[in-house]
Amino acid sequence: MFEDFTATDRWTRKPVHCVYQALIVAIATRHADAVDIKFLVDGRTVWVALPHPAWVEYKKRTGRLITDSLAVEIAGHYLKAALEAGEGLGRDMYSLTVEETLAHLEGAVAAMQAPVSA
């Protein structure tokens, strides 16, 4: 659902095509306690960083795990919301807090479970 989507930029009202490209554990690349998820936004690289402590907190609260595919959905849900809220087509990195990550997890799951209209 949020691996390949279109968002409408708040300021230009133009559609922006977003495609998931990669998931990287940032400890190896940035020495950060995060998972970096790469999207192409109209062909331009944009990263969404999800903090590792969100995995621990989600497991503590629910007993369930955040899988790689769910992490991509969370990042895509956030990116779509950020673009539609006008939080900048010019940014190349977005870093979420634990609470933001869990809120977008809930939003992504709700969107995936919503009935599809014909």
Q: What radius of gyration do the chain's Cα atoms show? A: 14
Does a structural domain hold residue 68? Answer: yes
Q: Count the domains in the chain.
A: 1
- Identify which of 41, 43, 57, 46 has the alpha carbon closest to the alpha carbon of residue 101: 57
Q: With 0.75 as the threshold, say if the pTM is over it.
A: yes
Domain housing 50: 4-113
Q: Per residue in 58-80, pLDDT tens?
A: 999 999 999 999 999 999 999 99
Does residue 102 sit within a domain?
Answer: yes
90 located within any domain: yes
pLDDT of residue 35: 95
Q: What pLDDT was estimated at residue 87?
A: 84
Q: Is 118 among the domain residues?
A: no
User: Which CATH number characterizes residue 21's domain?
Assistant: 3.30.160
Amino acid (1-letter code) at residue 110: A
77 close to 66: Cβ distance less than 8 angstroms: no
Whether 48 maps to a domain, the answer reads yes
